Amino acid sequence: MAHLHDLTAIEQAEAVRRREISPVEIVRHYLERIERLDPQVGAYVTVTAERALDEARALERGEPDGPLYGVPIPVKDLNLVKDVPIRFGSATYEDFVAPVDDTVVERLREAGTVMLGKTATPEFGLPCYTETYVSPPSRSAWDLTRSAGGSSGGAAAAVAAGLAPAAHGSDGAGSIRIPASVCGLFGIKPTRGRISFAPIVPDLAGMSTNGPLARTVADAAALLDVMTQNTPGDLYLAPPVEGGFLEAARREPGRLRIARYATPVVPEAEVEPDVLAAYEEAAKTLAGLGHEIVDIAPPFTADVVPQFVTLWYTFACMHPVALDKHDRLRPLTAFLRERGHAVRAPDFLQAQAALQLATRFALHVTNAYDAVLTPTVTQTPRPVGWFEEGGDPQETFERMKRFAAFPAIYNVTGQPAVNLPLHWTPAGLPVGVMLAGRVGEEATLISLSAQVEAARGGFWGTRRPEIWSA
């Protein structure tokens, strides 16, 4: 073993269980790397070093139990951790300290994980890139001139750079899968209702969910097992899973019928050749494993885009901002909030009704297959600053829509979806592909992903970003 961060999260927990390493050793290793390397990466907005060491010392006195005991897992800065500052990526919340824990944070603690800190997120989690007024831009470990995506950009940057073994994230329109794609990671958006947002965050339209990012399928599956829970009052409940997700990562999926399409529903969005190459490579790999691949037309049309945009405008208004702090908002956020406040309640309800109608028709198509393959994003990782070139928030929003033209569909339907890091361009940039499944069937996606991972000799193989060994 060259370094502790070369171990997967599950391997770290196994080493703790065998008393070969201690939770304190692991935490100190990551804290040292964060202090030395994070100024280049921009993964963390808050590092809770003393708290992490205290948690690790307490775990050393306990009896190791569970697949992630003693493993550091940072929390995205859209989630509440009691007594820890939370900024939601916004300068308007610089002095706010969380009054309670989110239930998913409680679950992480109960599983024996250690919180290293809070990972960076764009303002209120709205953009698909992580550039804020409260922390440096989050960058892809594979090329530090490139964005780590968003809104779980800090989480993805941390895992890809070896500043955390795996990370908590959340996904409202691709916010786990987009960063996973541009950072070369495996990420899971679970089924709607799989993970509670209690006690404070409402689930309302049901677009967003918590979920894991990791280098391996098994690590992500183990983390999803930990996060999975419901709380009285949740508006959505996912179908139960037998045996757990880590168990699914360790079994064969059988021969599956997999649909595929690569036509984005967003008008004027174009899929770059490198992205199409990743898509074709994935289809070839899946066919080589014995699965049936079927070309289909996109189950949604461009008619859904304006309806989704209406909802996204209103989501920008969910966080209250004091009148004397409006000048601290980023231009894109101010643009979205202005339009969100102008949406009439009947227009919001009609947009949501239209999306539900489209979902009902789309599921008749996708439910005929065990999985659906598409690109994750339409372009290779974008340079830091690219989305805001020119300073026009309308153009920034259009660039976001064209770049992230595939993943938000499955936030609308509530289906589970994963990013597979299968392809790197000749320039060394990662390009992911997406697999979506039937509602409640994350286990099928996880089992299939693990099969692909094994066939490839691991997603990363012998490849590592330069900063990994720094």
Q: Which of 76, 118, 189, 401 is catalytic?
A: 76
Has residue 16 got a pLDDT over 90? yes
Average pLDDT for 438-442: 98
Q: Which of 175, 196, 447, 449 is catalytic?
A: 175
Q: Classify domain 4-469 at the CATH topology level.
A: Amidase signature (AS) enzymes (3.90.1300)
Has residue 411 got a pLDDT over 60? yes
The C-alpha torsion from 48 through 49 and 55 to 60, rounded to 10°, is 160
Q: Which of 138, 151, 196, 208 is catalytic?
A: 151
Say what the pLDDT of residue 35 is: 98
Say what the pLDDT of residue 2 is: 74
Nearest-5° Cα angle at 247, 242 to 252: 100
Nearest-5° Cα angle at 175, 98 to 396: 105
C-alpha atoms less than 13 angstroms from C-alpha of 268 in its C-beta half-sphere:
7
Say what the pLDDT of residue 450 is: 98
Closest to 253 in 3D by CA, of 55, 451, 456, 21:
451
> What's the chain's average pLDDT?
97
Rounded Cα–Cα distance for residues 316 and 340 (Å): 7
Place of tokens 């008749």: 364
β-bridge pairing 117-119 and 292-295: unpaired
pLDDT tier at 351, thresholds 50, 70, 90 = very high
Say what the pLDDT of residue 273 is: 98
With pLDDT > 70 as the criterion, what percentage of the chain qualifies? 100
208 in active site: no
Kindly state the tokens that stand for 2.
């060259």
pLDDT tier at 366, thresholds 50, 70, 90 = very high
Rounded Cα–Cα distance for residues 308 and 207 (Å): 10
Say what the pLDDT of residue 272 is: 98
Say what the pLDDT of residue 170 is: 98
Say what the pLDDT of residue 41 is: 98
151 in active site: yes
Average pLDDT for 393-398: 98
175 in active site: yes
The answer to whether 232 touches 19, Cβ cutoff 8 Å, is no
pLDDT tier at 457, thresholds 50, 70, 90 = very high
Has residue 405 got a pLDDT over 90? yes
**Residue range 309-335, pLDDT digits in tens:** 999 999 999 999 999 999 999 999 999
**Residue range 61-93, pLDDT digits in tens:** 999 999 999 999 999 999 999 999 999 999 999
Say what the pLDDT of residue 321 is: 97
